Structure 1
Amino acid sequence: MDPEFAAYLERVRSHRAELGESMAALDAALALPVGLGSLWRRRVRAALTELAHDLRDHRAVTEEPGGLYADAVSRAPRLASLAKLQMKEHLDFIEVVERLLGEREAGLQSPDAVAAHREAATELVGRIVRHRQRGADLIYEAYEVDIGGSG
């Protein structure tokens, strides 16, 4: 593998690890008792804010011209539909996080609103986990490289 591209893959690994940490932080915040009130709200908001940042970074690094998805598809055209799905999901995830942050700004007044917010955020974490699994498979298929599952 070209040394420049190997360095790029290390950058992807680093961003992947940061994304994994922000997902873990959101999962931990969501697991706190809602009865903690403002503490629960602050932790979830902080975790969502960090996740939004890491998702934008992840999208930028994987979708940049000549980046991961473009290169993977040029090496293995059969991966084009999977790469397209991954890129679509990036936009979907960012939209969901922005919506969740907007809900927080508007205020979660009722217990039902808090429960729905928590459920949507929990569902998002699960979707991102599956996205990361497909991403690792895509990278392995294109490069026979393990991008790392611990980050």
Structure 2
Amino acid sequence: MDAEFAAYLERVRAHRAELGESMAALDAALALPVGLGSLWRRRVRAALTELAHDLRDHRSLTEAEGGLYADAVARAPRLASVAAVQLAEHGEFVEIVERLLGERESGLDGADSVAAHREAATDLVGRLVRHRQRGADLIYEAYEVDIGGSD
């Protein structure tokens, strides 16, 4: 692995830690009692906003020409189907976060809409955890490098 790509993987590792922190912040906000009302809403909104930012950064970093997924598939074509799943999920995650933020903008009227919002955001956190697991496995299989969970 050349020095330039090794430095790129270090950026991926650092960003992975940031994304993990965003996910943890959302998980922590969702775990607060809904009965806290506006505090719960503000914390969830702030966590979703940060997650949206980190997801956009993650996409641009890993999907860039010559980026992580393109290089991994070039090195190990057998990983193409896993990379395709990862790439497709990027778009899905961005759409879900935008939808959740849109719900925040339009307002969550009543206990049922708050519960559905919380459930959708909790499901997103679970999907992101599995996405990160597959990404770590893909990178390890392509490069025999552990990018870690967080720093």
Q: Who is 2:23 aligned against?
A: 23
Distance 1:123 1:65 in 2: 30
Q: Who is 1:98 aligned against?
A: 98
What amino acid does structure 2 have at the position aligned with 1:64? A
Any unmatched runs of 5+ in structure 1?
none
> Residue 71 in 1 paired to residue 71 in 2?
yes
Residues 70-122 of structure 1, C-alpha deviation per residue, up to 9 Å, x if partnerless? 00000000001110110000000000000000000000011000000000000
Judge conservation of contact 2:16–2:150 (CA < 8 Å) in 1: no
The alpha-carbon deviation at position 149 of structure 1 amounts to 1.7
Alignment of 1:2-151 (within 5 A): 2-150=2-150
Judge conservation of contact 2:52–2:97 (CA < 8 Å) in 1: yes
Question: Sequence identity, in percent?
Answer: 84
The list of structure 1 runs, each at least 4 consecutive aligned residues, that deviate by more than 4 angstroms after superposition, is: none
The alpha-carbon deviation at position 150 of structure 1 amounts to 2.8
Distance 2:61 2:106 in 1: 31
Distance 1:11 1:83 in 2: 19
RMSD: 0.6
TM-score, L = length of structure 1: 0.99
TM-score, L = length of structure 2: 0.99
Residues 51-71 of structure 1, C-alpha deviation per residue, up to 9 Å, x if partnerless? 000000001000000000000
